[in-house]
Structure 1
């Protein structure tokens, strides 16, 4: 039986749960969390096998299991904000949570189906396979290479890469098991048909220059999730909360204020 997850929080107000992406940890959200904590209670959770939860390794490492672990950890209704792989997990939480456990859902540079399909733009299988091979060797070197992809498309790519590395590398490396299983999720999970069942306020945020989530899927997801809202940041990378920090904060806080007022 997997142990419970550790969680940290900053600020007071409406709870926001931030979920990071593959290969990183919640440290990447520190500047964002500091800013949001002026108006909200920001809750940071490292995914199982990462950061403070590096020793929590559930079997099987599936989307429903991860969602249940996080729901057991967060003991109050909250808005779930998931970036990249974290967006997939946040979506599963919104789909499986009890009524009123999820107050809102935000996806950042995420996709309901990350892997390329015959009818879907996504990450090519050979790229995912290359990461599988690389993490069997030097994990640190592999992740440093992956961090560079996060900043591709940014107008200040060198500064963004340096910041992401400083934030993420401050804690221990993730477990190889979690990395491998996370790649399997990116390759196999397809929530496209389930998006219509999400019945909470839903915001999707994209970077126009994202190297991992093709902008061609945005209109497709508009159709799959007609009640959701989408925002695209120009000259933004896969991490728009870093490449376009002020614009990102303004957009997110405005939306959060709107759903709180309803």
Structure 2
């Protein structure tokens, strides 16, 4: 494991690692960390470049490097859970180093984030607008992105307020890191490789998600292996982009049996 990646560890047993999304940090998992710790030893990581994990000065800001640095920070084997951009990183690790994972869970994530006529996703002009605004006022741009994430959730205002508190409790990512992260969301495409995924996979979607539309779920299913272990899915009914914040108990009710099913014997 690499020491430059910040982590908080809680619980004992099988290792469970959670990865946050763009612009945020490990605090985002606060609503479910106690429940996760009942299932194993939970590692909340600040992704390289975010929170208290500085981006190494000698490494280029690329998706490949982000994944390699994150992989190097993982325990020898774990359940890996990634939200949004963190789900993209977790998926690449699942493809790149399946022997390191008991299972893979992606939350409000997609193998390809931008929308096209045939693929539900984030409208490219939204990502482009955020990228343009970053250079002018990156703090406000991140806040706007948070608001978009909670759009449609029953307690959106409370969710946004809480997420902001978690965000600003740690150092903000630099504009360069944030810009590179937006570029990853706009360009990384793992769809051609999904058929090669061999680790058990659970995909969680928010029915009200404005960033990763739930409609993408069926498209992803068709790209995955048809094995039962690759086709676990949960649609959170009253949630937008952060189901584990909007409905922690519903989220855990879907996640717990999956982690237990694929726990090492």
Query: Which TM-score band applies after superposition, normalised by the shorter structure?
Result: over 0.9
* Residue matched to 1:77: 77
Give the C-alpha shift of residue 67 in structure 1. 1.6
Secondary structure of the residue aligned to 2:23 is: coil
Structure 2 counterpart SS, 1:105: strand
TM-score w.r.t. the length of structure 1 is 0.94
Write the distance in 1 (CA, Å) between the matches of 2:21 and 2:29. 11
In the TM superposition, what is the alpha-carbon distance from 1:39 to its structure 2 partner? Answer: 2.4
Task: Name structure 1 gaps, 5 residues minimum.
Answer: none
How many Å apart are 1:58 and its aligned residue? Answer: 6.1
Alignment check: 8 A CA contact 2:239 2:246 kept: yes
Whether 1:231 and 2:234 are equivalent positions in the alignment is: yes
1:164-183 matched pairs, under 5 angstroms: 164-183=163-182
Q: Tell me, in whole angstroms, the C-alpha distance in 1 between the residues paired with 2:56 and 2:126.
A: 27
Taking a change above 3 Å as real, the CA distance of residues 57 and 126 of structure 1, as seen in their structure-2 partners, is farther
Offset, 1:105: 0.3
d(CA) in 1 for partners of 2:82, 2:38? 20
Q: Would you say the 8 A contact 2:4–2:54 is kept in 1? A: no
- Structure 1 residues 166-175 or 197-206, which shifts more? 166-175
Report if aligned partners of 2:119, 2:219 keep a CA contact under 8 Å in 1. no
Q: Which residue of 2 aligns with 1:60?
A: 60
Report how far residue 55 of structure 1 moved. Answer: 4.4
Structure 1 match to 2:15: 15
SS in 2 for 1:75: coil
Deviation at 1:59, TM superposition (A): 3.4
Q: Which residue of 1 aligns with 2:113?
A: 114
More displaced stretch, 132-141 vs 207-216 = 132-141
Moved more, 176-185 or 65-74: 65-74
Report the 3-state secondary structure (helix = DSSP H, G, I; strand = E; otherwise coil) of the residue aligned with 1:106. strand
- Single out whichever of 198-207 and 50-59 deviates more from structure 2: 50-59
Give the match's secondary structure for 1:100.
helix
**1:228 Cα deviation (Å)?**
2.4
Cα pair 1:49 1:57 within 8 Å, conserved: no
